[in-house]
Amino acid sequence: MEVRGSIPHEQAPAPGAYEGVWRFTAPTVDPSVPLVRHGVRTLVADLAVPVHDDILHGLLVIVSELVTNAVKHAAVLSPELGVEVAVGPDWIRVAVEDQHPYRPKVLETDHARTGGRGLLLVHAIATEAGGSCGIVQTATGGKMIWAALPLRPPDG
C-alpha cells in the first residue's frame, strides 16, 4: 500500500486526529518482518499521519531491523513479539518488545562483518532524522527497543 498523497482540505483530519498509541503482536518468525512493516505503513496511511516520505521510509527500515532482531535473537524465549506505534503532534515512535532478557548495545562498525549492524543502522537513521532511540527493560524481564522520529526532517 502506498502512503496517501495530500488530502483535500474538506477531508483532512482535525489537527491531532492522528495522535494515539496502537499495539499489536506477531509471531517471532521471519514472515512477520514484512507483515509488521506493512501493518505500520497501513496504520500511518489510514490515520493520515502527516509524515514526510523520507521519515516514513526511515521508520519502515527501523521497523524491519527491530523485528528482524527479535526474530533472529529472541525467538527461542519469545515466541511472540509486541509492536507499539505511538504518534504525537509532531513525532512518531515505534517500539518492538520481546521476552528475551539480553539488552544489546549499538555495535561499532566492523566492515569485516556482514551482520550485527542493525541497531547501528537504527541509531543512525534516528539521529539523522533528528530523533532518538533506546532500549528499556520491561516489567516481565524482556526488553523494548524503540525509535522516535519527528514527522518532518530537521531541514524540512
CATH of residue 99: 3.30.565.10
| Residue 12: φ, ψ to 5° | -65, 140
At a CB cut-off of 8 Å and minimum separation 6, what does 46 contact? none
Domain contains 11 = no
pLDDT value, residue 103: 80
Residue 31 contacts residue 68 (beta carbons within 8 Å): no
Residues in the chain where the model's pLDDT stays below 70 = 1-16, 105-116, 156
- Whether 52 is in a domain gets the answer yes
For the chain, what is the domain count?
A: 1
DSSP 112: T
Q: Can you tell me whether residue 133 is helix, strand or coil? A: strand
Summarize pLDDT for 92-109 with one digit per residue, the tens: 999 999 999 988 866 444
Whole-number pLDDT of residue 11? 45
Residue 38 within any structural domain of the chain: yes
pLDDT of residue 156: 60
**DSSP annotation string for 7-27:** PPGGGPPPTTTT-EEEEEEEE
In a domain, 42, yes or no: yes
pTM of the model: 0.84
Q: What is the pLDDT of residue 14?
A: 57
pLDDT of residue 115: 53
DSSP code of residue 108: P
Position 6 scores a pLDDT of 32
User: Do the domain assignments include residue 136?
Assistant: yes
pLDDT of residue 10: 41
Q: Which residue has the cell 539521529?
A: 127
Q: What is the pLDDT of residue 104?
A: 80
pLDDT the model gives residue 154: 85
- Which is nearest to 57 in space by CA: 92, 104, 22, 109? 92
